[in-house]
Amino acid sequence: MSKVEFDTKAAVGKRLDMLKLAQFALDQQVIADSNYYCPYREGYLQKSAVINSRPGTGLVVWATPYAARLYYHPEYHFSKDKNPNARGKWFEWAKSVNLEKWRKIAEGKE
**Interval 53-106: pLDDT, tens:** 999 999 999 999 999 999 999 787 778 899 999 999 999 999 999 999 999 999
Give pTM, 2 decimals: 0.84
> Angle CA(87)–CA(89)–CA(94) in degrees, nearest 5?
85
Across 46-79, b (16+ Cβ under 10 Å) vs e yields bebbeeebebbeeebebeeeebeebbeeeeeebe
5-45 pLDDT, tens digit each: 766 666 556 666 788 999 999 999 999 999 999 999 999 99
